[in-house]
Amino acid sequence: MPDPFGDLRDWGRVISKIGQLRQDGTLQENQDGLIRVLRYRFNWQLRQAALESVQSIPKPSPPLLDVLISIVGDELVELEFRLLACAAVNHVLWRSGSADGGGGLRHRAALEADTLLAVTQTPVLRAAIQRWLCWDSPPRGVESSAGSRNEVRDSPLNPRDTSSFRGPAEDEGLVLTADAQVTGAGAASMSQRIASEPLAQPVRA
């Protein structure tokens, strides 16, 4: 299927297109185009919209999983987006749990998790990666293939659900909150703000 997103520099239109495909339930057939958006480094609003749209895909593809894992492992990507990518990986693994070939996706994710956990990671990111090994726990509020948002409040990709991003121990004081938002023409709200003593607050230009 032809890529429906066109020039990614026209990011407001692209975000609207992602929303339309989610509403129509046709994002499944446009995963190649979504992967291109996820790889685009020059607009955080686009990347956020693409990451959050993964939960609308009932049968995620192996290339989609690969690009999500690459975002998680990219130290140049801000922590908040790496965490969103972790949650998207969880969605992919849960969706593939009963699908043919799902074992291959889970095996790949487990191998990548081992690689990522072998190096120093922030506690909150480490905990998020470790959840890949528990793929059989259904993400709360997973959208239907038609893109329903009936229970999106509890979705692992929804910024209002901070429980999904808690560190491995309550006394570590690591939790993502959702009280910071960025608004503007065509802009999606900022998903997360990091509230942690050991970590500096991210600064958005």
Handedness of CA 181, 161, 133, 50 (dihedral sign): negative
pTM for this prediction: 0.67
**Does 109 reside within a domain?**
yes
Asked if residue 153 is part of any domain, the answer here is yes
Q: Between 110 and 194, whose confidence is greater?
A: 110
Using only C-alpha atoms, what is the Rg of the chain?
Answer: 16
- The answer to whether residues 152 and 140 touch, using CB atoms and an 8 Å cutoff, is no
Domain count within the chain: 1
Within-domain flag for 204: no
Q: Determine the Cα–Cα distance for residues 124 and 174; give it in Å rounded to an integer.
A: 6
In a domain, 41, yes or no: yes
- Answer yes or no: is pLDDT of 139 > 60: no
* Identity of the residue numbered 205: A
Is the predicted pLDDT of residue 193 greater than 60, yes or no? no
Q: What pLDDT was estimated at residue 81? A: 96
| Residue 43 in domain | yes
Q: What is the mean pLDDT of residues 132-152?
A: 50
Rounded mean pLDDT, 169-190: 33
Question: Is 182 part of any domain?
Answer: yes
Q: pLDDT band at 175, cuts 50/70/90?
A: very low
Q: What is the pLDDT of residue 145?
A: 38
Residue 39 backbone class (left: φ over 0; alpha: ψ -120 to 50; beta: rest): alpha
3 state SS of 158: coil
* Mean pLDDT value across residues 22-40: 96
Which pLDDT does position 205 carry in this prediction?
38
Which among 84, 77, 11 is positioned nearest to 41, based on CA atoms? Answer: 77
Q: Which domain holds residue 41?
A: 11-195
Please report, as a single letter, which amino acid is at residue 39: R
The verdict on residue 3 lying in a domain is no
What pLDDT is attached to residue 98? 55
Q: Is residue 4 part of a domain?
A: no
Is pLDDT of 52 > 90?
yes
Of the pLDDT bands very low, low, confident and very high (cuts 50, 70, 90), residue 167 is very low
Higher pLDDT among residues 104 and 186, named by residue: 104
C-alpha to C-alpha distance for 140 and 156, rounded to whole angstroms: 6
How far is it, in rounded angstroms, from Cα 129 to Cα 82? 10
pLDDT at 138: 54
Buried b (16+ CB within 10 A) or exposed e, 5-35: beebeebeebbebbbebbeebbbbebbebbb
Q: What is the mean pLDDT of residues 86-115?
A: 83
**What is the pLDDT averaged over residues 174-194?**
32
For CA atoms 58, 138, 177, 122, give the dihedral sign. Answer: negative
Q: Give me the chain's average pLDDT, please.
A: 73
Burial 72-90 (b: 16+ CB within 10 A, else e): bbeeebbbbbbbbbbbbbb
